[in-house]
Amino acid sequence: MDVRFTERELDIMQVLWDDGPATVAEVRAQLEDDLAHNTVLTMLRVLEEKGHVRRHTEERAHRFEALVERGSAGASALRRVTQKLFQGSSEALVLRLVDAQDLDDEEIARLRDLLDARLRRRNEEVDR
């Protein structure tokens, strides 16, 4: 599933992912920008129409819950970035990430461990 968020939608989803289901007022309070109540409500309704959040009615308030997981949104965004900026090359993406970051020895070791584990899994699949 290709999940796309605008910057503002992503800000709102971040609140829902971090804090769980929230009312408009609760989301608004967590946003860095001072947005009007109706603006946040409109954005939440747009996210609901897209199928990214679900609304529950509690007395007079609506509580919105994220339906899209953070990991799914991240994987979708990463696929788009890889396609658009690195011509579909995951290797180029990883090389750029490693070159652009000031990674310490522990981070590099963890990356190496992840890559080694991935290589072992791939080799085991081929052997089957």
Pair (73, 94) in one structural domain = no
- Domains: count for the chain: 2
* Residue-wise pLDDT tens digits, 59-101: 888 999 999 999 999 998 899 999 999 999 999 998 898 888 8
Pair (116, 106) in one structural domain = yes
* Residue-wise pLDDT tens digits, 7-25: 999 999 999 999 999 999 9
Pair (82, 99) in one structural domain = no
Pair (74, 115) in one structural domain = no
* Residue-wise pLDDT tens digits, 23-68: 999 999 999 999 999 999 999 999 999 999 999 998 888 999 999 9
Domain that holds residue 54: 1-88
pTM above 0.85, yes or no: no
Pair (36, 22) in one structural domain = yes
User: What is the DSSP track for 13-70?
Assistant: HHHHHHH-SEEHHHHHHHSSS---HHHHHHHHHHHHHTTSEEEEEETTEEEEEE-S-H
Pair (94, 84) in one structural domain = no
pLDDT in the model for residue 66? 97
Nearest to 13 by CA among 2, 5, 24: 5
